[in-house]
Structure 1
């Protein structure tokens, strides 16, 4: 009877091979020689003795002097991502909150019947699910961690544990597979208390499969625990989400990724450059599995060592030196150097989009360190941080912002353009040849001066004649401008004398608006003239001081509440009497309601107390006196003369963005 392969009888590894020399062996008392097969003697007990130099080798293989031998090298190389898969909850990187919750649940016995692990790829979802399964099935577990020594733990580490069933949701997504699962969950575990089902990429299941799983997922047998893993929880029906305990795994922080890579490289005794790790960490995007896969590739490319330049070239990233050179040229206004760097990158076959993104990332870090010198970004080493601080010291913050904005716009355009190099070069030229920005303080100062000049023009009358200008602001002077609003243009001189001729009937004109208006002007604190003198004789100095004080009120309110300040620009101060400032508002219900609001009124009152001498409060009166002031403005008079028209109505200009 011919026996199976030698390795299958003697428990030899698959790496054993036979030679053409005969193999000597002993079965019972018989000694046989056969160059190719071993003849099986039925019912003969093997002595276990091997002749002709058979000796056990470390591990599962045997070295045979007669020709069967094993290589001293491993049969196959195990990648770092599998070799360094965490075997305890403490070894899981970057998911402390989740592992702590699971450990507490294991220690207290509060085990849920279904869990959902959601998050990006390569951050520990499946690993944590396997650790949870091993902890639930461990025969000698004393705390939350599996012992790692019992038969269940050994089988779990080898991936042969029969009570842990891993299902790929992408390839077993139909209703038939779920029906099979529903039938299998009825059977008790082979050993231990639980049977654990790990369904990876569960969001790939069909809607019918989810519906078939609902009842089992909600009320499984007491020995069943489901662990669902997904990279896209939004595709999972809410009816499923409500039946599980959800844990959201987050991308691993850059500093934690770098520490893990350094620890693994030190344990593997692989020499490496510290500058190569940030390149791998950025390319991994928070995934430890991706980082270890990239690390494996970079080590193979570097012939057993990890170097910064080779790692950057392998991963499609631009060398850090080239990125820093280009960034320094852009913010340093060196157009030629920057364009040469782009040309060099293109000739070297580099991805210009990746090149631009590397520069954007470097400028972002430079901006952060410029704005916050004490910041310590996790992506940078101490020496790299110092280099970027020196780079930012030579330029202003506005220049870095301008260059960064130009490159961000180029990045968006390069993804859609058939000529990405042209887009990058345009952005580079624009960023390096921009005009030197004016200081922000100077711009704000000029804007403030312009606003003050406009307010002064709105509060004062034209400078044709000073008495006439001030008289037009008084309540009794409303009738005079109306005589000038005719279709034919008239000289300015007659309008100067016209208010004097119409002065007697002025009380009757102003009476409907306010009867006490002339009195406060004559009794103002800055009018020392006798009461019998005409009000206009002292009005110019009083109104000029009051107008200046009102400007300060408007400025102060504008800083606190710009909208309210814009309303005050449409208001004209009249007089101060009995510690009360009277202001006149030409008819606008919206403005009147804003000034009547209690909160707004308090803001204006506080400003009046600080800026207007002798005033503790203010009141608003309605009036059309502003119409006369506007109508006598030289620009308005010129428009009337040019178009042979007349002023029909005057409406105050609302702040930009408000409706009429």
Structure 2
């Protein structure tokens, strides 16, 4: 074998500014500086490995010291340029900062900068890995770096700029070399393979570029190794086999299993990668990168999976359309947390499996958007509620007139005055019971027997007509009115309740399924309600409180600003008079008789020890 073989990384090293790939911002700035004669005395190239720091430094040195320079379009085959490219030029000194990092080496450098260049225009000092210099060495270099001789140029290169003193960085023009995009690397590898007579699949070139992580030198070295292994034809399977990379298709399939909430197949896929000798940390990193592409596709489908094979791009766009953005962000966060734990975990497979299951569970959880959608759907089913409430309000009869109107306006036909319970209050709009407006309950002075014109009511527990004489609707309205009067707490619950049936010894009321809370609250007082029900109906019905899906909820309207039907009754309550005036007694004889003939009012007068008050 010939000893003159040159590896691809050296054979295809950039020789001119036009050969530098992926660093257009650096190349353009240097070209303009040379053309405009605005050359700095110190440059600092920063970037990851294999991105072209040393190559760019040598190209800049060639442009400065080439015959007739400084100029951009120099001849790379010129003897001076060749010496610089090979590191043999006396005017371009390349120093390894890792092995020459002491104060003594910097002092020697300071002693040599005063000498003029031998053949070129400038004496150029290139210090690689400059961050390895000690603090004392940096301090010794400060004065020379700030005010070097006119014929001296400094070029520094580093992968860790944070370790360089700020006083050094401030004296240099800094250029940050970026990671080279995978498509650029893949195209350059295809170009090299074509020149070398090697058949390289496009998918294989993309796999190499992805594995190089933005480093052109790494990609060229891997291609060199593949040619030695495969010969004249290189496929994606060869790349994955030699370097243990994960194919874009396998990562896409694993991501699809997670998005499909497939726990068992996800664990099997992870186990298959582990059994195949894959680096699980690299697998997780690739998976996070894939979901990042899905997130990008969620925002802009045209940019999702940019640079990936066509089938993988289609899969990324399809996955993006089927997952919520918030859930995708949470999934990426969980996988990132798993990646942090795996770095120090002895059992990486266990942590990866746990992280994958957590990600699936996070996808299955209801998001805030899902909850809002469900609430909106439930609210949409109640679009007809205002019409229902309006109907209930329209069909409801006003409060009994006999107990709420003033004496001068209650001259009505006897049939209407004798049936105060035939017109119940509105079901959806609670009103103040008429007894409150016409009865007063003195606690200190008991009424004398002779002031009550009506006979004392019998102690029978039937304040209303028997159940057989009252329809279910009428009984329900009376029951609700009495309960609200006796227990104001019940008002909110009873307004939402609806009468269902009165048969077979049962009196049933119901709530809509959305109002189950009212049913639970009211059921705690079921025995008390039954007692009032028996009192009104004269029977022994069993109270049944149901929750049914077929019940449409009524709109609950609690009147805050409705005017009272007769505000003067409460605004100026009269004091009890043991001896009413004869004229008033004559005038009110007929209405007072009507009051005491009503069984409900008679029962109320008895229970509350009250009497009718004349205004």
Structure 1 residues 229-278: Cα deviation after superposition (integer angstroms, max 9, x where no partner) = 11122222222222222222222222222222222222222211222223
**336-345 vs 283-292, which moves further:** 336-345
Q: 2:43 aligns with which of 104, 109, 115?
A: 115
8 Å contact 1:366–1:389 — kept in the other structure? yes
Matching residue of 1:387:
315
Question: What is the match of residue 279 of structure 1?
Answer: 207
Please report the TM-score for the alignment, with normalisation by the length of structure 1. Answer: 0.55
Task: Give the Cα separation in 2 of the matches to 1:214 and 1:224.
Answer: 14
Q: Does 1:150 align with 2:78?
A: yes
Shift of the 292–433 alpha-carbon distance from structure 1 to 2, 3 Å rule, reads: same
Residue 338 of structure 1 deviates from its aligned partner by 2.3
CA distance in 2 between counterparts of 1:436 and 1:337 reads 16
TM-score where L is the length of structure 2 = 0.59
Cα distance change on mapping 1:534 and 1:260 into 2, 3 Å = farther
C-alpha RMSD of the superposition = 3.7
Of residues 138, 148, 158, the one that matches 1:210 is 138
Following superposition, the deviation at residue 332 of structure 1 comes to 2.4
Question: How big is each residue's C-alpha offset from its partner over 1:101-129, in whole Å with a ceiling of 9 and x where there is no partner?
Answer: 11122122222221111222221111111
- 2:188 matched to which residue of 1? 260
Q: What is the alpha-carbon distance in structure 2 between the residues aligned to residue 210 and residue 435 of structure 1?
A: 53
3-state SS of the aligned residue for 2:233? coil
SS in 2 for 1:167: strand
Task: Note closer, same or farther for the CA distance 1:449–1:302 as it changes in structure 2 (3 Å cut).
Answer: closer
Match of 1:352 among 250, 267, 280: 280
| 2:127 alignment counterpart | 199
CA deviation map 1:374-418 (0-9, x unaligned): 335433133431233345566666775665555444333323332
Does residue 1:467 correspond to 2:427, yes or no? no
8 Å contact 2:122–2:151 — kept in the other structure? yes
Which of 138, 142, 150 aligns to 2:66? It is 138
1:415 aligns with 2:343: yes
The alpha-carbon distance between structure 1 residues 536 and 432, as it changes in their structure 2 partners (threshold 3 A), is farther
What's the secondary structure of 1:139's corresponding residue?
Answer: coil
Task: Tell which structure's C-alpha radius of gyration is larger.
Answer: 2
Q: Secondary structure at the match of 2:199?
A: coil
State the match for 2:271 in structure 1: 343
Matches within 5 A, 1:96-495: 96-141=24-69, 143-391=71-319, 404-432=332-360, 436-438=364-366, 441=369, 443-444=371-372, 466-467=431-432
Q: What secondary structure sits across from 1:416 in the alignment? A: coil
User: What's the secondary structure of 1:389's corresponding residue?
Assistant: helix
8 A contact 1:414–1:423 mirrored in 2? yes
**Is the 2:23–2:177 Cα contact (8 Å) retained in structure 1?**
yes
Query: How far is 1:495 from its partner?
Result: 9.2
Residue 524 of structure 2 aligns with which residue? none
Moved more, 89-98 or 238-247: 238-247
Equivalent residues of 1:134, 1:156 under 8 A apart: yes
Does the CA-based 8 Å contact 1:366-1:392 persist in structure 2? yes
Distance (whole Å) between structure 2 residues aligned to residue 109 and residue 175 of structure 1? 33
Instruction: After TM superposition, list the pairs within 5 Å mapping 1:523-562 onto structure 2.
Output: 533-534=567-568
Cα shift at 1:493: 5.7
Corresponding residue for 2:451? none
1:93 paired residue among 21, 29, 35: 21
Question: Contact 1:254/1:378 (CA < 8 Å) preserved in 2?
Answer: no
Name which of structure 1's ranges 107-116 and 145-154 shifts more when overlaid on structure 2.
Answer: 145-154
Contact 2:103 2:140 in 1 (8 A): yes
The runs of 5 or more residues in structure 2 that have no matched partner are 380-427, 437-482, 489-558, 572-615
**CA, structure 1 residues 534+205, in 2 after alignment: closer, same or farther (shift >3 Å)?**
farther
Q: Is the 8 A contact 2:201 2:234 kept in 1?
A: yes
Report the secondary structure of 1:123's partner residue.
Answer: coil
| Structure showing greater relative contact order (alpha-carbon pairs closer than 8 Å, 6 or more residues apart) | 2
Alpha-carbon shift at residue 130 of structure 1 (Å) = 0.8
Deviation by residue 1:200-230 (Cα, 9 ceiling, x = unmatched): 1111111111111111111212211111111
CA distance in structure 2 between the partners assigned to 1:197 and 1:448 by the alignment = 71
- Seen in structure 2, the aligned counterparts of structure 1 residues 229 and 535 have a Cα distance that, compared at 3 Å, is farther
- Flag the 1:289–1:442 CA change in 2: closer, same or farther, 3 A: closer
1: CA distance between counterparts of 2:569 and 2:14? 94
The count of corresponding residues between Structure 1 and Structure 2 is 407
Unaligned segments of structure 1, at least 5 residues: 1-72, 452-462, 472-490, 497-523, 538-660
Cα distance, 1:439–1:131 mapped onto 2, change above 3 Å = closer
Contact conserved, 2:296 with 2:304, CA < 8 A, in 1?
A: no
Change beyond 3 A, Cα 1:318–1:247: closer
Question: CA–CA distance in 1 between the matches of 2:286 and 2:310?
Answer: 19
